[in-house]
Homo-oligomer: A and B are copies of this chain.
């Protein structure tokens, strides 16, 4: 019935040729609602995040925002809001007269919103874009959250057969341990590290540290994945403001430029994925984003990546080019991704520590970059620097989205 996608390593476009102008679009500020199991509704989360954004950019009047891009993955089912963009506009107090849209790309819905905003700004349609990510996942019936998450896998072939995120990533973890000898301890270190980092992040879901034993003894979810291998079911919201580099000067002395973007999709059904433990679309997305920015991994000051499960971060080290294939376990054992290490990963605590309110996750990563560059984070997790990368995967890791952000100059 379905076309079978040819499994190949997509060749990156020549990004010098396409007329891409780096440093043309800037992020001038942003803010978050508190992540967690919140009593707030979808609308209240949006309002709280909106206030945080405008508090962060005092020179910006709500009236001057002419476009709204909203990343929301599942409001239709989680919050019974099937047309959330104007709802958010109203809650935040903006009246878009150039563009309004919601974008969805499961766990990368916020990055999709940033991409749409970027194009619209470069095209001259949008002057000042508010880019929001909002997700209300905790509902009276958590069965709703679970069935919704299961519908992120293809409903007809994968979802109905019990495939949802935990069993899917459990297969990956088992296979990675088998193929590469990655140890349970190495994988658990990701959770310990990221919870350590989030312990100084008051807006994150969790501010609690855990020992290696606590991670490895936590409740079994889908063998070998245990509770502390999983990111949370989190309510959260966030927003950033994007505009042209030229206009950015009106609002901040510390703009963050979008220097590189990469994204790649290969397949949908689990059976059509190129490989469980090597993420080919991740390689393409990293390569294209870095190429567009004219940067390499060694140029990065830190990176915020999509640790939806502990094993994900191990594979990101490998396929993102931070270490050799199969060496992800050793890479964390050696201390490389810690604050103070070779390349700090998930300084804000990642999805494991700060939670994973789908549409808001990408936004929270970018807010961390803004605050790191500005030196606004607590000294325990301060890295600073001038070039960072953010990464999200979606669904069954069949789409990867990467941004390279820099301070310019």
Bound-complex Cα distance A104 to B1 (A): 27
Bound-complex Cα distance A256 to B382 (A): 52
Name the B residues within 8 Å of A222 (CB-CB): none
Bound-complex Cα distance A43 to B87 (A): 29
Bound-complex Cα distance A122 to B119 (A): 7
Tell which of B66, B77, B79, B264 touches A97, judged by Cβ atoms closer than 8 Å.
Answer: B264
Given known contacts A13-B66, A76-B77, A80-B155, A90 and B5 CB-to-CB distance under 8 angstroms: yes
A100 contacts B by Cβ under 8 Å = yes
A272 contacts B by Cβ under 8 Å = yes
Nearest CB of chain B from residue A288's CB, rounded to whole Å: 7
Binds B, one of A176-184, A192-200, A305-313, A392-400: A392-400
Tell which of B2, B81, B99, B105 touches A151, judged by Cβ atoms closer than 8 Å.
Answer: B81
Given known contacts A41-B156, A86-B398, A156-B43, A265 and B100 CB-to-CB distance under 8 angstroms: yes
Q: Residues 209-246 of chain A: 1 if any B CB is under 8 Å from the residue's CB, otherwise 0?
A: 00000000000000000000000000000000000000
Binds B, one of A110-118, A331-339, A371-379: A110-118
Contact between chains at A86 and B399 (CB < 8 Å): yes
A278 contacts B by Cβ under 8 Å = no
Name the B residues within 8 Å of A190 (CB-CB): none
A6 contacts B by Cβ under 8 Å = yes
Contact between chains at A3 and B93 (CB < 8 Å): yes
Contact between chains at A265 and B97 (CB < 8 Å): yes
Given known contacts A81-B155, A87-B268, A118 and B123 CB-to-CB distance under 8 angstroms: yes
Contact between chains at B97 and A13 (CB < 8 Å): yes
Given known contacts A79-B155, A123-B119, A264 and B3 CB-to-CB distance under 8 angstroms: no
Name the B residues within 8 Å of A112 (CB-CB): 101-102
Given known contacts A20-B125, A97-B12, A101-B115, A73 and B66 CB-to-CB distance under 8 angstroms: no
Interface size of A by CB at 8 A reads 89
Given known contacts A268-B90, A395-B86, A151 and B95 CB-to-CB distance under 8 angstroms: no
Given known contacts A125-B119, A148-B82, A155-B79, A263 and B98 CB-to-CB distance under 8 angstroms: yes
A window 153-180: CB within 8 A of B: 153-156, 159
A window 59-104: CB within 8 A of B: 63, 66, 68, 73-74, 76-77, 79-83, 85-87, 89-93, 95-104
A124 contacts B by Cβ under 8 Å = yes
* A-B interface, 6 closest residue pairs, ranked by CB to CB distance from nearest: A119-B119, A18-B124, A19-B124, A3-B93, A122-B123, A76-B76
Binding site for B on A (CB under 8 A): 1-3, 5-6, 8, 10-13, 15, 18-21, 41, 43-44, 47, 63, 66, 68, 73-74, 76-77, 79-83, 85-87, 89-93, 95-106, 112, 115-116, 118-127, 148-149, 151-156, 159, 261, 263-269, 272, 281, 284, 288, 394-395, 398-399
